[in-house]
């Protein structure tokens, strides 16, 4: 049996170096815990090309240098040693401060689950020095990359940009079944980037390394910056909703947000760093930031029906071990429950049952899981799910639906929660009303589809007295479908 790994014995985490194999477009990132445990992660840009210009090669090198620093979070967390070392030398103070924030907040859930206080531990080495030379301008063609993960949110972004005739390419990190299927329905070209985690990390996890959630979206953000140079696109349109800014809980005075690396705070920090140090002119943003998950789900229900047969948000579909990957919704995780709850007001009940392989809202074993979604648990689940308020808004819609109001859990939760609501109509309206679009680059604001703010819900099925009037699209934003 392999010797147990002792995280507390590790004194230093090292960023060793990185390199690029130009022939295969394989970037290799090297890390070490002390000198005893050495890791190599590989990221392969399939079908990409190294730029022919000096400015392009410099931009790619700068993107990989920062990706090296950010992807290290997966290996640092194995022991969270008291010292962080960068073999190539200390960073500029503003870069070190960016990484301090990312590692602290991006590992917030990991720290909470492992009972660790990382505030005194995470200190990236920095030193003042001569002002760094600004990155050379590397022109990028107008094209928007849409990261696709096989779920509903990216479908809404894809269909809106298609309707606006925006030049577009899909991009996935990995090639999982739901991603392939959604991309096929979208009929948009897709870039595949592959990430190969060091086998040693997986081995240490089995031998006692610290483990837990990492800010994977931050790693993908820097993969996108490198990919912009390798493949040629000037923007990445994410599909993160406004609830990604909401913390799950506060612990030791620190807000713990499972979705920190999907938040608008991270987005601002990332864009400032990339403009200053990596690739001026590249834009990274969430196209769906003004909207709640509930509004996005309503818009998804109006996308081409072929998507509903193939989309999947359940994490079992994305396990590293191919033999353990789920082929359907597991119906036993927060993401399955949230998507079911949010989508049910907008689709017929038989179709929902067919999509998920069961009726989750008529299953008593699901009660505890839905209670967490609806604010009756200790805190919002550590998953990419909507806020409690929009879950309750979905419950309001379901309780008014002739098709859903007799479902076991709808009846139970409606009786427990709805009598205490002061203004259910206002709750629904606020959940569906868009926020400001100031976070979006100007060129995308007119592309937001009117269907993101749904019209009358189908829950009444022709019974007009059941229909609640929902807010119209904001002026000037009635794009395709509005």
Measured N-to-C along each axis, helices 293-300 and 334-343 cross at an angle, to the nearest 10 degrees, of 70
Share of the chain above pLDDT 70, in %: 88
pLDDT average, residue stretch 417-427: 93
The contacts of residue 424 (CB under 8 Å, 6+ apart) are 396, 418
pLDDT in tens, 248-307: 888 888 888 888 999 999 999 999 999 999 999 999 999 999 999 999 999 999 999 999
The region, left, alpha or beta by phi > 0 then psi within -120 to 50, assigned to residue 461 is left
The sign of the dihedral angle between the CA atoms of 298, 300, 304, 310 is negative
CA distance 29 to 18: 4
Closest CA to 69 of 343, 211, 270, 212: 270
CA separation (Å) from 30 to 40, 64, 262, 275, 451?
A: 5, 12, 26, 26, 46
List of E strands, 105-207 = 144-147, 168-173, 190-196
The region, left, alpha or beta by phi > 0 then psi within -120 to 50, assigned to residue 255 is beta
CA distance 55 to 49: 14
CA distance 454 to 473: 8
pLDDT average, residue stretch 315-321: 54
Confidence of residue 335 (pLDDT cuts 50, 70, 90): confident
pLDDT in tens, 157-216: 999 999 999 999 999 999 988 899 999 999 999 999 999 999 999 999 999 999 999 999
Q: How many CB atoms lie within 10 A of CB 377?
A: 14
Count of all residues that appear for the chain in the document: 482
List of E strands, 1-113 = 12-21, 26-33, 37-45, 83-86
Please give the DSSP secondary-structure letter assigned to residue 249.
E
CA distance 257 to 265: 12
CA distance 251 to 235: 35
CA separation (Å) from 351 to 120, 229, 301, 331?
A: 51, 43, 11, 15
Q: Which two tokens stand for residue 393?
A: 């808004």
Q: What rounded mean pLDDT belongs to the chain?
A: 88
- Cβ atoms 355, 82 nearer than 8 A: no
**0.85 surpassed by pTM:** yes
CA distance 46 to 194: 8
pLDDT of 103 higher than 80:
yes
CA distance 443 to 82: 45
- Cβ atoms 120, 440 nearer than 8 A: no
């Amino acid at each position: 049996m392999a010797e147990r790994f002792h995280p507390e014995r590790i004194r230093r985490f090292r960023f060793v170096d990185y390199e690029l194999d130009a022939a295969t477009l394989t970037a290799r990132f090297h890390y070490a815990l002390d000198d005893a445990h050495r890791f190599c992660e590989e990221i392969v840009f399939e079908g990409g090309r190294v730029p022919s210009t000096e400015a392009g090669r410099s931009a790619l090198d700068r993107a990989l240098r920062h990706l090296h620093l950010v992807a290290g979070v997966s290996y640092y967390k194995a022991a969270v040693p008291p010292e962080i070392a960068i073999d190539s030398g200390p960073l500029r103070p503003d870069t070190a401060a960016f990484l301090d924030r990312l590692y602290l907040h991006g590992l917030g859930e990991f720290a909470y689950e492992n009972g660790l206080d990382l505030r005194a531990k995470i200190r990236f080495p920095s030193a003042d020095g001569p002002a760094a030379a600004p990155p050379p301008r590397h022109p990028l063609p107008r094209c928007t990359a849409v990261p696709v993960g096989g779920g509903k949110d990216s479908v809404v972004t894809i269909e809106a940009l298609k309707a606006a005739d925006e030049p577009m390419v899909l991009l996935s990190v990995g090639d999982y079944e739901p991603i392939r299927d959604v991309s096929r329905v979208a009929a948009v070209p897709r870039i595949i980037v592959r990430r190969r985690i060091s086998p040693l990390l997986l081995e240490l996890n089995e031998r006692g390394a610290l483990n837990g959630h990492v800010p994977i979206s931050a790693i993908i953000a820097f993969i996108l910056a490198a990919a912009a140079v390798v493949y040629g696109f000037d923007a990445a349109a994410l599909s993160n909703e406004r609830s990604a800014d909401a913390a799950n809980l506060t612990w030791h005075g620190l807000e713990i947000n499972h979705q920190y690396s999907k938040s608008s705070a991270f987005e601002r920090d990332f864009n400032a760093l990339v403009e200053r140090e990596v690739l001026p002119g590249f834009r990274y943003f969430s196209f769906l930031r003004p909207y709640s998950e509930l509004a996005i789900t309503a818009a998804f229900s109006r996308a081409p029906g072929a998507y509903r047969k193939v989309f999947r948000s359940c994490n079992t579909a994305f396990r590293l071990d191919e033999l353990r990957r789920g082929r359907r919704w597991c119906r036993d995780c927060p993401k399955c429950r949230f998507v079911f709850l949010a989508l049910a007001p907008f689709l017929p009940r038989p179709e929902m049952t067919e999509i998920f392989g069961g009726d989750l809202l008529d299953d008593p074993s699901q009660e505890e899981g839905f209670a967490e979604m609806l604010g009756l648990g200790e805190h919002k689940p550590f998953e990419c799910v909507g806020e409690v308020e929009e879950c309750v808004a979905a419950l309001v819609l379901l309780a008014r639906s002739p098709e859903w109001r007799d479902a076991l859990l709808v009846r139970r939760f409606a009786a427990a929660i709805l009598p205490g609501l002061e203004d259910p109509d206002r709750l629904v309206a606020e959940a569906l009303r868009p926020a400001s679009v100031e976070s979006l680059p100007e060129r995308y604001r007119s592309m937001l589809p009117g269907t993101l703010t749904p019209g009358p819900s189908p829950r009444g099925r022709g019974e007009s007295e059941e229909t609640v009037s929902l807010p119209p699209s904001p002026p000037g934003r009635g794009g395709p479908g509005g």
